[in-house]
């Protein structure tokens, strides 16, 4: 019987009942039940034992896995306290936490507070909560999931390496995208550059302004900027002028202001030293603000890109790119494109300068040709005038004074004088010559010019001449000084198209270094000049007139320089112009005064005079002028013939009168040969036009004995007598 059944029966009956047929079967059934229960319990116990062993093994394996797991796993309570810690990433924590510590103690107030809030939210919403946090320089991927009631599982993973890889990959992707953008931009800029070259190719040769417009337009379209402009430094280097500006919106060209470079010290220094001047924010950039303060930039401009234009290693201008509305970071490709546009502008200016110099060279060559032609014409013209004037003097001696014939001859002589003046002016216009200085009164030159002045300026110009009666003498070439007055008065007339007042006055300036200075001032009430024009006033070929040659004021400058003088110009827009010609006072007495004391009253003589002149009429008039006075005259048609006559006379010649320019052999060369055979031979040269270098064969003293054609009998005889008397 089952022991448990026996104890139960004894407990109930005091003993085990005898086998009563009535209970035997019941007891047997109960006993069988107990036996069966024991067997089942033994089976369950064996099963539980096996399960416990498997659970322990699994738990041990799980603990091993969790110890190897890279994450930090925490089991927390609802109030954010640590209940358990698993995982191998406990190194993420500053110290090893203990069970019962709060998350704020484990991770710190900021990070722990964020995880604690996530725990409460996960328990409330019964869903996964994900956080991205930074802890002690590490990136943490934190995930919170609800666990047992009132508990949550917090999994923290260090994803710093992943983030670093992601950042590196992102940087590589961004770099690739940037390179692709730059490649695209470079391709577009190359296409734009091709369009620029095509646009330049369509512009006719020499159209600088049109070519410049094409460059600015294509640059604005390629870089997509609001305005592109070209600013050029004037010749004086003092001002920066906006020569052309193109606005992308509307496609209009405009001319901008003029700025003094003295107001832009920082900007000018940058132009000299930098390749490009890029300003992301023009409002805060010091260089851009300096230009804006001087009036060279629009207040609405946000970003600027300026590129200096250099010509022969010198900054001559700047190409400005102005971006409106938004700030802009200029890329290296954009700066390179802008620099290329500036290089094209430089080439354009260089080509224009080359064309200008070629034009000046052609003009100079034309003037030289004109000078040669004028010299030949003047030579022949002066020969004719000399013959006419001298024959008129001879005829005048044979007619009664005061008769009509005498008056007619006087008119002929006056016409000869005017013709000579015209020939001299033609020579001074076409070809410069060394000044033939003489001591004279500058007032006489001004007064002698007054009659012509009224014809030059016209009736709508009031002419006022004021001369200083105590003006010192000057040593000048009268014809060249007349040319100076002519050019100055002509310029003054053109500056007063609607009439005005022209003034000429002379005065003596206070002596400087014991030298007197005589001033001739020519003033007008015309439109005046700005500083840029005034700085270029005396440049050859510079003109503000549509049909001007640009030589008038350069001739004035050259003449004044040859006379050792100086020029001062006072002018302003709308205030007229005054040009002051300052000449040194004469240091010797006039020739007339010397002549009065040195030339004898007689003009007759018995000396032998050898005359070489290629013009037959002049040879004849010289003979007829000298022989009646007792001179012996020997004639020759050129220098070689004169040498032959000189040899025939065995050097018994008292004076050689030689034309400077003659066929076969000129006068100076002929005189050199004669002087070798007879040292000390006196000479008198005659010429209507002595070319440069004509007197290279003779000394300076001999070259000063020059009688200019045309001349009359009395002048010829006086010069011959003076030459003979030394």
DSSP per-residue codes, 78-131? TTSBEEEEEES-GGGSSS---TT-BHHHHH-HHHHHHHHHHHHHHHHHTS-EEE
DSSP class of residue 539 equals S
Is 48 buried (19+), middle (13-18) or exposed (0-12) by CB count in 10 A?
exposed
Q: How far apart are CA 619 and CA 610, in angstroms?
A: 11
With 80 as the cut, is the pLDDT of residue 91 above it?
no
Q: Extract the tokens encoding 404.
A: 């009509």
Contact 236, 531 (CB under 8 A): yes
pLDDT of residue 515: 76
Measured torsion, CA atoms of residues 508, 510, 514, 518, in degrees rounded to the nearest 10: -20
pLDDT in tens, 129-177: 999 988 777 888 899 999 889 999 999 888 888 888 888 888 899 888 8
CA angle (153, 159, 162) in 5-degree steps: 145
- CB proximity list for 605: less than 8 A, separation 6 or greater: 629, 630, 631, 720, 721, 724
Residue with tokens 């802009």: 328
Fold designation for 203-330:
Beta-Lactamase (3.30.450)
pLDDT of the residue at 566: 86
β-pair partners for 412: none
Check whether 427 has a pLDDT greater than 70.
no
Whole-number pLDDT of residue 320: 94
Quote the mean pLDDT of the chain. 81
> Would you say residue 654 has pLDDT above 60?
yes
- 597 pLDDT band, cuts 50/70/90, is very low
Fold of 432-584: Heat Shock Protein 90 (3.30.565)
Secondary structure of 458-473 as H, E, C letters: CCCEEEEEECCCCCCC
pLDDT at residue 389 above 80?
A: no
pTM, to two decimals: 0.47
| CA distance linking residue 327 with residue 300, whole number of Å | 11
Q: Is 573 left (phi over 0), alpha (psi -120 to 50) or beta?
A: beta
Q: So what's the pLDDT on residue 58?
A: 74
One fold for 69-158 and 203-330: yes
User: In this model, does residue 319 exceed pLDDT 90?
Assistant: yes
**In terms of Cα–Cα distance, which of 431, 424, 434 is closest to 365?**
431
How are beta strands 577-584 and 515-524 bridged, if at all? antiparallel
pLDDT score recorded for residue 166: 85
**Domain 69-158 maps to which CATH number in 3.40.50.880, 1.10.10.10, 3.30.450.20, 2.70.150.10?**
3.30.450.20
pLDDT at 318 (0 to 100): 94
Architecture of domain 601-725: 3-Layer(aba) Sandwich (3.40)
User: Residue 558 — pLDDT band, cuts 50, 70, 90?
Assistant: confident
Q: What backbone phi and psi angles, to 5 degrees, belong to 579? A: -110, 120
Would you state the pLDDT for residue 588? 67
Spell out the domain ranges in the chain. 3-65, 69-158, 203-330, 432-584, 601-725
In this predicted structure, the answer to whether residue 690 has a pLDDT above a threshold of 70 is no
Q: How high is the pLDDT of residue 492?
A: 83
| 322 pLDDT above the threshold of 90 | yes
Band of residue 599 on the pLDDT scale cut at 50, 70, 90: very low
For the segment 179-206, what is each residue's pLDDT rounded down to a tens digit? 887 777 777 767 776 776 666 665 555 5
Give the per-residue pLDDT at 636. Answer: 93
**pLDDT (0 to 100) of residue 315:** 93
Q: Indicate whether 598 pLDDT > 50.
A: no
Inter-axis angle of helices 332-396 and 616-626, nearest 10: 50
Q: Please give the average per-residue pLDDT across 230-237, as a whole number.
A: 85
Q: Tens of pLDDT along 438-452?
A: 788 888 888 877 766
- CA–CA distance from 669 to each of 633, 709, 716 (Å)? 21, 20, 22
Q: For 48-68, what is each residue's pLDDT tens digit?
A: 888 877 877 776 666 665 566
Beta bridge partners of 522: 504, 579
Nearest CA among 42, 712, 62 for reference residue 420? 712
Please state, in angstroms and rounded to a whole number, the distance separating the CA atoms of residues 489 and 474. 21
The candidate with the shortest Cα–Cα distance to 131, out of 147, 151, 150, 110, is 110
Taking residues 90-95, report their average pLDDT: 66
pLDDT at 225: 92
Beta strands in 411-562 (DSSP E): 438-440, 461-466, 474-476, 500-512, 515-524
Distance CA 308, CA 275 (A): 7
Q: Strand ranges (DSSP E) for 398-441?
A: 438-440
pLDDT, residue 206, reads: 56
Q: Say yes or no to pLDDT of 683 above 70.
A: yes
**441-458 burial: b if 16+ Cβ within 10 Å, else e:** bbbebbeebeeebeebbe
3-state secondary structure of 285: coil
Section 636-655 average pLDDT:
91
pLDDT at 595 over 50: no
Instruction: Quickly state the pLDDT bin for 593 (edges 50, 70, 90).
Output: very low
What average pLDDT does range 385-411 have in this prediction? 78
């Amino acid at each position: 019987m089952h022991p448990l059944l026996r104890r139960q029966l004894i407990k109930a009956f005091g003993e085990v009942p005898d086998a009563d047929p009535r209970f035997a079967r019941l007891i047997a059934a109960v006993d069988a039940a107990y036996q069966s229960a024991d067997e089942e319990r033994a089976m369950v116990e064996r099963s539980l034992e096996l399960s416990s062993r498997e659970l322990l093994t699994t738990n041990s394996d799980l603990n091993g896995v969790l110890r190897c797991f890279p994450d930090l796993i925490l089991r927390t309570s609802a109030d954010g306290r640590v209940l358990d810690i698993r995982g191998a990433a406990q190194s993420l924590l500053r110290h090893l936490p203990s069970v019962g510590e709060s998350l704020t103690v484990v991770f710190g107030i900021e990070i722990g507070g964020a995880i604690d809030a996530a725990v409460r939210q996960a328990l409330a919403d019964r869903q996964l909560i994900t956080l991205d946090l930074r802890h002690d320089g590490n990136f943490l991927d934190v995930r919170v999931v609800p666990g047992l009631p009132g508990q949550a599982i917090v999994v923290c993973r260090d994803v710093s390496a992943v983030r670093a890889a992601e950042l590196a990959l992102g940087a590589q992707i961004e770099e690739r995208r940037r390179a692709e953008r730059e490649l695209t931009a470079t391709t577009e800029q190359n296409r734009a550059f091709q369009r620029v070259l095509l646009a330049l190719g369509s512009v006719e040769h020499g159209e600088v302004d049109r070519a410049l417009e094409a460059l600015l337009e294509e640059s604005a379209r390629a870089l997509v900027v609001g305005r592109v402009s070209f600013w050029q430094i004037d010749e004086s280097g003092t001002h920066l002028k906006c020569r052309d500006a193109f606005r992308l919106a509307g496609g209009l060209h405009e001319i901008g202001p003029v700025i003094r470079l003295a107001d832009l010290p920082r900007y000018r220094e940058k132009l000299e030293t930098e390749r490009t001047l890029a300003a992301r924010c023009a409002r805060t950039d010091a260089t851009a603000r300096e230009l804006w303060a001087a009036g060279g930039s629009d207040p609405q401009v946000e970003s600027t890109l300026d590129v200096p234009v250099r010509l022969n290693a010198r900054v001559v201008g700047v190409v400005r790119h102005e971006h409106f509305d938004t700030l802009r970071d200029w890329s290296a490709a954009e700066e390179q494109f802008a620099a290329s546009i500036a290089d094209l502008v430089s080439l354009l200016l260089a080509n224009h300068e080359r064309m200008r110099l070629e034009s000046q060279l052609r003009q100079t060559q034309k003037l030289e040709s004109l000078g040669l032609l004028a010299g030949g014409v003047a030579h022949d013209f002066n020969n004719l005038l000399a013959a006419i004037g001298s024959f008129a003097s001879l005829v005048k001696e044979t007619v009664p004074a005061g008769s009509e014939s005498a008056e007619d001859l006087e008119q002929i002589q006056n016409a000869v004088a005017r013709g000579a003046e015209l020939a001299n002016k033609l020579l001074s216009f076409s070809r410069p010559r060394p000044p033939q200085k003489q001591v004279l009164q500058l007032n006489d030159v001004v007064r002698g010019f007054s009659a012509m002045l009224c014809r030059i300026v016209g009736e709508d110009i009031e002419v006022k001449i004021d001369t200083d009666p105590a003006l010192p003498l000057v040593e000048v070439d009268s014809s060249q000084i007349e040319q100076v007055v002519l050019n100055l008065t002509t310029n003054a007339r053109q500056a007063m198209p609607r009439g005005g007042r022209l003034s000429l006055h002379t005065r003596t300036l206070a002596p400087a270094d014991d030298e007197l200075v005589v001033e001739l001032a020519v003033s007008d009430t015309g439109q005046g000049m700005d500083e840029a024009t005034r700085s270029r006033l005396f440049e050859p070929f510079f003109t503000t007139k549509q049909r001007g040659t640009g030589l008038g004021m350069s001739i004035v400058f050259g003449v004044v320089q040859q006379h050792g003088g100086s020029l001062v110009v006072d002018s302003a827009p709308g205030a007229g112009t005054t040009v002051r010609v300052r000449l040194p006072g004469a240091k010797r007495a006039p020739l007339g005064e010397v002549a009065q004391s040195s030339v004898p009253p007689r003009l007759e003589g018995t000396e032998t005079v050898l005359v070489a002149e290629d013009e037959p009429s002049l040879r004849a008039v010289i003979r007829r002028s000298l022989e009646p006075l007792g001179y012996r005259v020997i004639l020759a048609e050129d220098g070689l013939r004169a040498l032959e006559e000189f040899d025939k006379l065995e050097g018994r010649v008292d004076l050689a009168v030689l034309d400077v320019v003659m066929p076969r052999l000129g006068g100076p060369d002929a005189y050199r040969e004669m002087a070798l055979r007879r040292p000390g031979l006196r000479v008198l040269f005659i010429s209507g036009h002595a070319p440069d270098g004509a007197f290279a064969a003779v000394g300076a003293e001999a070259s000063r004995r020059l009688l200019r054609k045309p001349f009359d009998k009395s002048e010829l005889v006086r010069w011959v007598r003076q030459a003979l008397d030394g």
